[in-house]
Chains A and B, each alone.
Chain A
Amino acid sequence: MAHEWLYLGIFLMLALAVPALALIIAGLLSPKKPNTIKNSTYECGMETVGSSWIQFKVQYYIYGLVFLIFDVETVLLYPWAVAYNRVSLFGTLEAVLFVLILTGGLWYVWRKGVLEWA
């Protein structure tokens, strides 16, 4: 088991190192002639107006919120799903109840009109 994680760790390191190395090589190969106009922030060819910190809609946060709750609930079902072949019908119904509660949350969110992209 430790070997599997060792391979995974090596793979993660290399997956980070290989692109990083390529970037460094490209950085050495490429010309460097910066000037003010070239380096200015791109805004469809116009002069940049204001800071990049614009106001965002709360809608993004709301989607993130709903996602978080659903994600956590579903992830908790994975151990059950692994044991699925061993559990009784009662155990299955328990998981279904679990999901039904989740569905209740979805229903509430839907009725409240949260999911409308306004």
Chain B
Amino acid sequence: MIPLSWYLILSGLLFLIGLLAVLIRKNSIGILMGIELILNAANINLLAFWRYLYANSGDHRGQMFVIVVFVVAAAEAAVGLAMIISAYRRKNTIVANEINELKG
């Protein structure tokens, strides 16, 4: 049997890698992939806690959270990529630092 901590360590490391992607990647699509990794790490966490602490009491909050995270991930990918493509068409760049039109 696998102790809970293993899952938590895995999800923690995955989160850190995702964070690294968000911080160091120049390409905005790379940043988006980092965010997806972070969401995946959150999902592992949620499901692990659900399975270890709540599954046998018929409590579905963990699963519901995972569903919401899935939906958020999908929405975020759709809108984020649409924005990247739109920026690419207008400014011909997808480097996050160069897309700075909202700066005052």
Contacts and interface: CB of A to CB of B under 8 A. Distances in A.
Interface stretch (B10-18, B44-52, B76-84): B76-84
B58 to A, nearest CB: 14
B78 A69 contact: yes
B77 A58 contact: no
A12 interface: no
Interface in A61-107: 61, 65, 68-69, 72, 76
Contacts of B82: 61, 65
Nearest to B70: A72
A58 to B, nearest CB: 6
Contacts of B77: 68
B6 to A, nearest CB: 17
Interface string B63-79: 00001001100110110
Main secondary structure of the interface of B (DSSP, over half): helix
Contact of B81 (A61, A69, A72): A61
Contacts of A65: 78, 81-82
B85 A68 contact: no
A24 to B, nearest CB: 32
Interface of A: 58, 61, 65, 68-69, 72, 76
Instruction: Kindly list the 10 A-B residue pairs having the minimum CB-CB distance in the complex, ordered from nearest.
Output: A72-B74, A65-B78, A68-B74, A68-B78, A72-B71, A61-B85, A76-B67, A69-B78, A58-B85, A72-B70
Given A61-B81, A68-B74, A76-B67, 5 more contacts: A69-B75, A69-B78, A72-B71, A76-B70, A76-B71
20 contacts: A58-B85, A58-B89, A61-B81, A61-B82, A61-B85, A65-B78, A65-B81, A65-B82, A68-B74, A68-B77, A68-B78, A69-B74, A69-B75, A69-B78, A72-B70, A72-B71, A72-B74, A76-B67, A76-B70, A76-B71
